[in-house]
Amino acid sequence: MKAGWKWLLATVALAGSLVAQAAQPWINMPNPMPVQAPKGKVEVIEFFWLGCPHCYHLEPKLNAWLKTLPADVQFRRVHAAWNAGMQKHAQLYATIETLKMPQLIGPAFDAIHKQELELRDADVVKDWAGKQKVNGKPLNAATFMGVYNSFGVQTYANRAPKVTQDYGISGVPTFVVQGKFMTSVSDAGGEDQLFAVLNQLIAQSRKAP
């Protein structure tokens, strides 16, 4: 009889633990990943895809939140990829990052989701790039495409599926804080809740050894 009660109590305790974990608006990553942020800073990564409508919809709120981040938080994006088409978008993103022109991310999103441009096609990318302006000056399409076709950018695109897999990313947008915590809009319960959860995880990461 006592053994039966012990089994029942253990089962109830386990069930309670699973419910609590399921209700938690983030996931403790089973295999923490290395961070690029220097010591004393907290790293936040957004895994995204330029072709993702959810990422596009989140962009205005994300940009507003980024303006509130304190100096000890380092944010970076990683373009996710599960297939060749996403790798082409990753190639475009890596070009923008290499040229240090983050102001082109918004126009790239708009081109894909509003104008329905096929920015997985190099000729379309070249035409799009030639119509962009950066700091009021026309973007040199030849220079842009030179970087687009460079070894470094090609390597980024080729590695994107492995990086996505290594982090265990199954959907986008997904955020990883300090290589330990993972959350998303659905995990957090909504877009506004997402940023509250991220702030909580940042604060929690500061206290961690």
At residue 208, the pLDDT reads 74
Quickly state the pLDDT bin for 22 (edges 50, 70, 90). Answer: low
Does residue 1 or residue 107 have the better pLDDT? 107
- Percentages (nearest 5) of helix, strand, coil residues in the chain: 55, 15, 30
Q: Is the dihedral angle over the CA atoms 53, 193, 26, 8 positive or is it negative?
A: negative
Taking residues 24-29, report their average pLDDT.
Answer: 97
pLDDT digits (tens, 9 = 90+) for 83-119: 999 999 999 999 999 999 999 999 999 999 999 999 9
At residue 209, the pLDDT reads 67
The pTM of the full predicted model, rounded to 2 decimals, is 0.88
At residue 164, the pLDDT reads 99
Taking residues 70-76, report their average pLDDT.
Answer: 98
Helix (H, G, I), strand (E, B) or coil at 78: strand
Contacts for 116-122 with beta carbons within 8 Å, 24 or more apart? Answer: 119/50, 119/88, 119/89, 119/92, 120/85, 120/88, 120/89, 121/88, 122/148, 122/149
Taking residues 156-166, report their average pLDDT.
Answer: 98
**The CATH number of domain 34-207 is 3.40.50.1820:** no
Which residues are paired to 174 by β-bridges?
47, 184
At residue 180, the pLDDT reads 98
Burial label, 122 (beta-carbon count in 10 A; 0-12, 13-18, 19+): middle
Give the domain ranges of the chain. Answer: 34-207
At residue 140, the pLDDT reads 98
High-pLDDT (> 70) share of the chain, %:
89
Between CA 147 and CA 142 the distance in angstroms is 9
Taking residues 46-55, report their average pLDDT.
Answer: 99
| Greatest distance between any 2 Cα atoms in the chain | 81
